């Protein structure tokens, strides 16, 4: 097979069968006229949207029953590549039968998933994802025209990843709740950055106001500052023994992050606090070694003594560290 043929075969393999079928045989392409909608006692809405990143554009037609705001028929015209045609066709189909208020909840990720042959395989290659993400914007515009409001009124949060419709608030919350450290982990948890990849870092096909690398760095810095403050507060108050279990674990984590963890990580290891139990004589802190620290000979001698000495100095002289 010639090299060009091999490249062509590889490219087509990256598209789902649904996409390639709808590229050539869309089911809802066309237009709805004012006369047609009026003959059914319905209202016609026509909305246009163009993607600056690639020049694709779509015109969306909604025939709406004013009695219940339900979209009884929908068609589209797409001015762009085959991917834009296929995604516009599925987007149009998803609108039919929904009320305007329901349709505005359709996201770009809903469209992309509807184009998949199997749930775990993307419908289009990442570099073409931007061609299939006009759905949310043109739907907002159509809904705004029908309801007499600005399209932006449907957007209550800053959207960082247009492909997966992931907001800035969601990203920060997921990073904090799951203690994420890499962009790859963010993508695994939220799908942000998993498609056109423009939101990951500067230099993609479309400039963004927010990038995942910066959000991760800023959020991690905020978390570290909060931990250091918690450690400082715990040390200055000298009230470790009267803290709740959750407060104690946070205080220990903060001291470990500030004074210990960097040295463990340098050697390919780490540790985590499993439990804290208060007795009459000791406050026992149970830890688990991770990575290279697990099974290391110094984990029960020098390293353990260093961790325990640091926690005693910063938090309480009653602390005893026990690896499990």
Q: What's the rounded Cα separation, in Å, for the pair 224 and 219?
A: 9
User: Of residues 131, 161, 163, 196, which has the active-site annotation?
Assistant: 131
Measured between its terminal Cα atoms, the distance across the chain in Å is: 59
Residue 93 dihedral angles phi and psi, to the nearest 5°: -65, -40
Residue 54 designated active-site:
yes
Show the tokens assigned to 272: 């985590």
* Beta-bridge partner residues of 44: 63
Q: What's the rounded Cα separation, in Å, for the pair 122 and 130?
A: 13
Nearest to 313 by CA among 252, 266, 226, 257: 252
Q: What's the rounded Cα separation, in Å, for the pair 125 and 132?
A: 11
Say which residues have a Cβ less than 8 Å from residue 282's Cβ, sequence separation at least 6. Answer: 318, 319, 320
Cα–Cα–Cα angle for 136, 195, 3, rounded to 5 degrees: 125
Q: What's the rounded Cα separation, in Å, for the pair 255 and 269?
A: 17
Q: Quick count: other Cβ atoms within 10 Å of Cβ 6?
A: 10
Q: What is the DSSP string of 70-92?
A: EEEEEEEEEES-HHHHHHHHHHH
Contact predicate 125/11, CB 8 Å: yes
CA distances from 289 to 146, 263, 273, 297, 305 (A): 60, 13, 9, 12, 14
Instruction: Cite the active site residues.
Output: 54, 131
């Amino acid at each position: 097979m010639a090299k060009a043929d091999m490249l062509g075969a590889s490219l087509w393999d990256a598209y789902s069968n649904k996409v390639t079928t709808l590229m050539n045989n869309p089911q809802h392409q066309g237009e709805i006229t004012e006369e047609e909608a009026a003959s059914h006692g319905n209202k016609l809405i026509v909305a246009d949207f163009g993607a600056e990143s690639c020049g694709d554009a779509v015109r969306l037609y909604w025939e709406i029953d004013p009695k219940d705001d339900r979209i009884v028929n929908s068609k589209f015209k797409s001015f762009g590549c085959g991917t834009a045609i296929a995604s516009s066709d599925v987007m149009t189909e998803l609108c039919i039968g929904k009320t305007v208020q329901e349709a505005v909840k359709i996201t770009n990720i809903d469209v992309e998933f509807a184009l998949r042959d199997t749930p775990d395989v993307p419908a289009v290659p990442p570099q073409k994802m931007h061609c299939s993400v006009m759905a949310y914007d043109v739907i907002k515009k159509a809904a705004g025209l029908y309801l007499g409001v600005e399209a932006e009124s449907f957007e209550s949060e800053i959207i960082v990843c247009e492909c997966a419709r992931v907001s800035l608030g969601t990203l920060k919350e997921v990073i904090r709740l799951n203690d994420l450290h890499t962009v790859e982990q963010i993508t695994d948890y939220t799908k942000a950055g998993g498609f056109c990849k423009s939101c990951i870092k500067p230099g993609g096909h479309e400039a963004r106001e927010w990038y995942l690398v910066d959000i991760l760095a800023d959020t991690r810095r905020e978390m570290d500052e909060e931990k250091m403050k918690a450690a400082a507060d715990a040390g200055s108050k000298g009230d470790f023994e009267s803290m709740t279990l959750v407060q104690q674990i946070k205080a220990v984590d903060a001291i470990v992050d500030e004074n210990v963890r960097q040295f463990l990580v340098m050697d390919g290891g780490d540790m985590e606090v499993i439990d804290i139990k208060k007795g009459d004589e000791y406050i026992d802190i149970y830890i688990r070694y991770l990575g290279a620290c697990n099974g290391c000979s110094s984990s029960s001698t020098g390293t353990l003594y260093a961790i325990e000495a640091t926690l005693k100095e910063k938090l309480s002289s009653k602390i005893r560290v026990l690896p499990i």
